[in-house]
Amino acid sequence: MRRLAGVLLLLLGLGGWLGWTVPPRTDLAAFLPPGGTPASAFLFRELQSGAATTLLLAAIEGAPRAELARLSRDTAAALRASGRFAFVGDGTLRLGEAEEALLFRHRYLLSPETHAEAFTPEALRPRLEALLDGLRSAASPLLARIGFADPTGAFFGLAATWLGGSQVETSDGAWFAATAAGAPRALVVARGHGAGLDSEAQQAAMDVFRAAFTSASPGPARLLLSGPGVFSAEAAAGIRADVRRVALGGTALLAAFLYWRFRSWLLLAVVSVPLLAGMLAGYAATTLLFGSVHAIALGFGMTMLGVAVDYPILLLTLSRESESLASAATRIWPTLRLAAVAAATGLLAMLGSGLPGLVQLGTFAGAGLLAAAATTRWVLPRLLPEGAAVAARPLPPVILALTSALQGRRGAAIGALLLACALLVGMGGPRWQRDLAALSPVPVAQQALDAELRGQLGAPDVRSLFVIGPAPSGAEVLRRSEALATAAEPLIRIGMLTGLDLPSHYLPSPELQALRQAMLPGTEALAAALREAVAGLPFRPTAFAPFLVAVEESRTMPPLGIAEFTASAPTLASRLAPLITRHEGAFWGIAPAAGVTDPQRLERAAIALEIPGIMFLDVKLEMERLLADYTRLTLLCALGGGLAMLAMLAFALRSATRALSVAAPIAGALVVALAGLALAGEELSLFHLASLLLLAGLAMDYSLFLAHAATADDGVLGDTFGAVLTCAVSTLLTFGLLAFCTTPVLHGIGLTVSLGVVGAFLFACAMTPRRAPELA
Amino acid sequence: MIARRALLLLLPASVAHAADAALERQMRALAAVTERSSRFTEERAIPELDVPLPNSGTLRWIAPDRLEKHTNWPIDERLTVTGDRLIYERADRGLRRDFALAEQPEMQALTEAIRATLAGDLPALRRHYDVAFSTSDAGGWRLVLTPRAWRVLGAVQRIVVTGQGAELRGVDTEGQGGISRMRIEPAP
């Protein structure tokens, strides 16, 4: 007794120590693949740590328009005051005086309208007429202040580029859109300083946002937040809630069931020893191999290791009355060893998939199963006092009658197998999950809100983009961006896309700025052109003196570089920042494409452009391809693992026929699970594959023990039925609960294993030969 | 010496007091008219231009807070102020902008000069301007408004509103070295 308590404490202590020294990682970076091609490598890095991940989109609803506008203004002001955001966009957004001054000063270097023909009398004339028209309008005070220094309107063009990017309706200092029901909705956008899916920083940013909203005394109005950070937080919270519910519910159900079967609290403690040891070993092995365990792999791995309760249950149920636990362990060890090693082989096959998350999951579950089996064999028998045999209570007669009625009905089993196969084929085989988004644990409603807000803010989710880089400097990124702009023009003309959001759109490269400087006319030439253009218009000869001075200054001023731009114009720079990033000393740029109708066609056209240092990337296509690659690889691994299991069986049982008859229930379980999933309309993902491997291991336990018992004494078979049924029900209780989870991955694992475990038990029963009555 | 100074201090105060009473009377008279339509002609003199730029149109006032300025020559544009909102429309360009007045201090200063006067809302006038009021014998009056906000002073130095009885007759806006003169008469 004391030894049992000591071991439990030791395991818990070790687990705590391990978790403390090497805590599980929660950032997605460790879970996603590194990416095989430069495009996918860039994609994953951006998804994990790109500036896009710091974006927060907010909607304020549920109050009258004026109140929403006030809330929006107050919230945005509080966000700006918090200093946590590099950029806060709302209806009050405008350029600061210093930023306006910077744009104004550099207007002829930055404006795309600066070219030699822009300063001829013919080009100047309509500009001057437009200025005169403006001076007649209500905008007269503004034009009187700026128009004479900038008659070509270069500054207004720039300001429009910077502020007029979005199509949002601005009124009363707030951006407005409508909800689906037609009620008003105020919109706010914020971009954080922090880069990456650092979930703590994301959470902190969201908390600041919510606090800013609350401090504006919202009354009945509510705040809806969206964005990658919200997604990862929601996903984590969703998984956490599901795992907690399943862990608590599953443990309680399992404990209640085992207590009902054995009427012993001692047994519960005993059963938990291999389970804890397995988890500890899984954690240690994964940490040793990969440096850390990802929280997602840990959660799923622990769930999967739930099946390790089978081992102590089998040991305790199969030990005979007069037998010591140690000798029972020795007796069943060959079968137990075979079952555990074969199951672990199947799970370890996932190592070949190359997907870091699955590799960790395979390692965790495989190592855990082996450790749990070993603990059952060598540790458990020593933990129980000699006389303290734990015996299972006899099963209710109804159940025994049912199982023995099923026993030996191979024809029915094969018939059911064929029926399931036919069903599966009839439905066109299992359907594969092609969209990674469907795996996201983020609720569909939240995804829909995100799409809606992005649409309304004119900030569509980046799907097709050009990637510029790696480049030695930011200036080089801008240069290539300009080359891209020229090269992509024909594609825009034929309507393959409607436009590109280029970094050079916001800040031209130093070369282009120098080129524009060279095109600016000298004071004499410009004055002459103006004199000609102004003929007949009521402007005084001295009216445009500030214009002459500004153009002359522009000819010699140093070009505006990224560093100065970022330092002196934070609002402007926040538009450029998401498009230029720095990674390991190299600069990268992106140019998202808008209005793409056919990404595949655009991809072909983009590749044909052959611009050096620029590649095309369609996030969805790339993801689908990667997923297809990984699925194919994982499927191959699973098949390989299955074959390895079969070979191991054949070797251990020394007979291909016996191996096949043991394998038949496994195949049955898999086919039933696949048919059930297809019927339920589930699309198969990598996690379903992993679950199928786990299921194969479980089914083998049942099959091996029943086949083994069928060759032994008569009494053994009944006990074994009881033991296997206990195992199956235990598994069904925990995994059945998983099937009710909302997290797609957990739901998939739960449904697969639950369906399969029922199939595995029924098939194993039916395949067990009926003892010929005349021999009894 | 000291007495003279005290007297100097007292004198304007009593004059101001008398003017205040007259101003308040004038404001009540203006407030009594809750709806009016007028025609206006305006000439903007800008130092960079040889000639002033003329324009004309209609003004419409509906108490308590709606003012429309519709210019129909030589361009077509419409400014509508209601409550704290400003709508700018230019039909020929398909342009429509909706602002909070508070976002546009210069525009607010200009429109409040007319609106607060028509509303007879002295506190609103004083919120935006230092107000000087004088009358002439024939029932004519004159409000000299100096913007209080520094930012507004950069664009508008002085607005002079003149009238006769309960009618508005002129609004002259001085700023940036130029002057804009608006003449107003009741619509036929």
Size of interface A-B (CB pairs under 8 A): 67
Tell me what percent of the residues of chain A surpass a pLDDT of 70. 93
Are residues A273 and A314 both part of a single domain?
A: yes
Chain A contact for B53 (CB, 8 A cutoff): yes
Grouping H, G, I as helix, E, B as strand and the rest as coil, residue A372 is helix
| Stretch A222-244: mean pLDDT | 80
Are residues A385 and A420 both part of a single domain?
A: no
Grouping H, G, I as helix, E, B as strand and the rest as coil, residue B36 is strand
Which residue in chain B has the smallest CA separation from A134?
B75
Are residues A328 and A424 both part of a single domain?
A: no
Indicate whether A749 belongs to any domain: yes
| Stretch A595-602: mean pLDDT | 89
Contact A136 B100 (CB under 8 A): no
Contact B156 A141 (CB under 8 A): yes
Tell me what percent of the residues of chain A surpass a pLDDT of 90. 25
Chain A contact for B95 (CB, 8 A cutoff): no
Predicted confidence band at A22 (pLDDT cuts at 50, 70, 90)? Answer: confident
For residue A490, give the nearest of A480, A481, A500 by alpha carbon. Answer: A500
Indicate whether A244 belongs to any domain: no
Output the CA angle A92-A94-A100, nearest 5 degrees: 165
DSSP letters along A674-706, please? HHHHHHTTPPB-HHHHHHHHHHHHHHHHHHHHH
Q: Which of A271-275, A447-451, A769-773, B83-87 has the lowest mean pLDDT?
A: A769-773
- How far is the alpha carbon of B2 from chain A, nearest alpha carbon, in Å? 47
Cα(A239)–Cα(A233) distance, integer angstroms: 10
Q: Please, which residues have CB within 8 angstroms of residue A531's CB and are 6 or more apart in sequence?
A: A541
Could you tell me if A587 and A473 are in contact, meaning their C-beta atoms sit under 8 angstroms apart?
A: yes
Cα(A168)–Cα(B125) distance, integer angstroms: 34
Predicted confidence band at A20 (pLDDT cuts at 50, 70, 90)? Answer: confident
* pTM (2 d.p.): 0.72
Are residues A742 and A676 both part of a single domain?
A: yes
pLDDT at site B159: 95
Are residues A406 and A388 both part of a single domain?
A: no
Indicate whether A709 belongs to any domain: yes
pLDDT at site A6: 85
Q: Which of B51, B77, B100 sits opposite A173 (nearest CB)?
A: B100
Q: Which residues in A362-394 are b (16+ Cβ under 10 Å) and which e?
A: bbbbbbbbbbbbbbbbebbbebbeeeebbbbee
- How far is the alpha carbon of A529 from chain B, nearest alpha carbon, in Å? 18
Contact B50 A539 (CB under 8 A): yes
pLDDT at site A461: 67
Grouping H, G, I as helix, E, B as strand and the rest as coil, residue B80 is strand
pLDDT at site A690: 81
pLDDT at site A389: 61
| Stretch A770-775: mean pLDDT | 48
Are residues A723 and A660 both part of a single domain?
A: yes
Quote ipTM for the complex. 0.83
Cα(A650)–Cα(A399) distance, integer angstroms: 32
Indicate whether A19 belongs to any domain: yes
Higher pLDDT among residues B132 and A157, named by residue = B132
Helix, strand, coil fractions of chain A, as percent rounded to 5: 70, 10, 25
Cα(A295)–Cα(A307) distance, integer angstroms: 20
- How far is the alpha carbon of B93 from chain A, nearest alpha carbon, in Å? 12
The amino acid at residue A286 is T
pLDDT at site A459: 67
Taking all residues of chain B, what is their mean pLDDT, rounded to a whole number?
A: 85
Question: Which residues in chain B come in under a pLDDT of 70?
Answer: 1-19, 103
Residues in B touching A539 (Cβ below 8 Å)? 48-50
Residues in B touching A133 (Cβ below 8 Å)? 75
pLDDT 10s digits, A386-416: 666 667 777 788 887 888 888 888 888 888 8
| HEC profile of A63-119 | CCHHHHHHHHHHHHHHHHHHCCEEEEECCCCCCCHHHHHHHHHCHHHHCCCCCHHHH
Output the CA angle A738-A665-A368, nearest 5 degrees: 50
Residues in A touching B44 (Cβ below 8 Å)? 135-136, 140
Cα(A305)–Cα(A327) distance, integer angstroms: 26
Predicted confidence band at A109 (pLDDT cuts at 50, 70, 90)? Answer: very high
Are residues A312 and A410 both part of a single domain?
A: no
Indicate whether A336 belongs to any domain: yes
Q: Which range marks the domain in which residue A347 is found? A: 1-26+264-393
- How far is the alpha carbon of A140 from chain B, nearest alpha carbon, in Å? 9
Indicate whether A388 belongs to any domain: yes
Long-range contacts of B123-128 (CB under 8 A, 24+ apart): B128/B152
Are residues A713 and A678 both part of a single domain?
A: yes
Which residue in chain B has the smallest CA separation from A546?
B48
What is the domain count for chain B? 1
Output the CA angle A37-A39-A43, nearest 5 degrees: 115
pLDDT at site B7: 47
For residue A602, give the nearest of A494, A501, A505 by alpha carbon. Answer: A494
Cα B66 to its chain centre, rounded Å, is 14
The DSSP element (H or E) to which B158 belongs, if any, is strand B158-164
Cα(A246)–Cα(A249) distance, integer angstroms: 5
pLDDT at site A770: 72
| Stretch A292-308: mean pLDDT | 81
Indicate whether B2 belongs to any domain: no
- How far is the alpha carbon of A66 from chain B, nearest alpha carbon, in Å? 11
Q: Which of A138, A142, A173 sits opposite B77 (nearest CB)?
A: A138
Backbone angles phi, psi at A109, to 5 degrees: -85, -30
A283: left (phi over 0), alpha (psi -120 to 50) or beta: alpha
Indicate whether A581 belongs to any domain: no
The DSSP element (H or E) to which A250 belongs, if any, is helix A228-262
pLDDT at site A350: 78
Chain A contact for B91 (CB, 8 A cutoff): no
- How far is the alpha carbon of A574 from chain B, nearest alpha carbon, in Å? 22
Could you tell me if A577 and A86 are in contact, meaning their C-beta atoms sit under 8 angstroms apart?
A: yes
Indicate whether B5 belongs to any domain: no
Chain A contact for B96 (CB, 8 A cutoff): no
| Stretch A107-115: mean pLDDT | 91
Cα(A617)–Cα(A770) distance, integer angstroms: 62
Chain A contact for B33 (CB, 8 A cutoff): no
Contact A92 B156 (CB under 8 A): no
Which residue in chain A has the smallest CA separation from B46?
A144
Contact B90 A137 (CB under 8 A): yes
Residues in B touching A132 (Cβ below 8 Å)? 53
CATH number, domain containing residue B97: 2.50.20.10
Are residues A359 and A411 both part of a single domain?
A: no
A317: left (phi over 0), alpha (psi -120 to 50) or beta: alpha
Residues in A touching B53 (Cβ below 8 Å)? 132, 135-136, 538
Grouping H, G, I as helix, E, B as strand and the rest as coil, residue B32 is coil
Sign of the CA dihedral with A129 first, then A130, A135, and A136 last? positive
Grouping H, G, I as helix, E, B as strand and the rest as coil, residue A434 is coil
Contact B180 A140 (CB under 8 A): yes
Q: For residue A560, give the DSSP letter.
A: P
- How far is the CA of A722 from the CAs of A314, A391, A718, B97, B156, in angstroms? 9, 11, 6, 79, 95
Indicate whether A423 belongs to any domain: yes
pLDDT at site A776: 32
Are residues A671 and A759 both part of a single domain?
A: yes
Query: Is A605 a residue whose pLDDT tops 60?
Result: yes
Grouping H, G, I as helix, E, B as strand and the rest as coil, residue A189 is strand
Backbone angles phi, psi at A125, to 5 degrees: -55, -55
Could you tell me if A124 and A529 are in contact, meaning their C-beta atoms sit under 8 angstroms apart?
A: yes
**Which residues in A have their CB inside 8 Å of a CB on B?**
69, 92, 132-133, 135-138, 140-142, 144-145, 148, 169-173, 538-540, 542-544
pLDDT 10s digits, A324-360: 888 888 988 988 998 898 888 888 887 877 778 888 8
What is the domain count for chain A? 2
CATH number, domain containing residue A313: 1.20.1640.10
Residues forming beta bridges with residue B159, ordered by sequence position: B145, B173
- How far is the alpha carbon of A541 from chain B, nearest alpha carbon, in Å? 8
Taking all residues of chain A, what is their mean pLDDT, rounded to a whole number?
A: 84
Q: Which range marks the domain in which residue B141 is found? A: 19-186
Are residues A356 and A404 both part of a single domain?
A: no
Residue A350, Cβ neighbours under 10 Å: how many?
Answer: 27
Q: Which residues in A157-193 are b (16+ Cβ under 10 Å) and which e?
A: bbbebbbeebebebbbbbbbbeeeeeebbbbbbbbbe
Chain A contact for B49 (CB, 8 A cutoff): yes
Which residue in chain B has the smallest CA separation from A136?
B53
Residues forming beta bridges with residue B43, ordered by sequence position: B54, B181
Residue A252, Cβ neighbours under 10 Å: how many?
Answer: 12
Cα(A497)–Cα(A613) distance, integer angstroms: 21
Sign of the CA dihedral with A695 first, then A701, A707, and A713 last? negative
Q: For residue A556, give the DSSP letter.
A: T
| Stretch A295-308: mean pLDDT | 80
Predicted confidence band at A121 (pLDDT cuts at 50, 70, 90)? Answer: very high
Which of A370, A393, A416 finishes a domain?
A: A393
Are residues A377 and A401 both part of a single domain?
A: no
Could you tell me if A470 and A588 are in contact, meaning their C-beta atoms sit under 8 angstroms apart?
A: yes
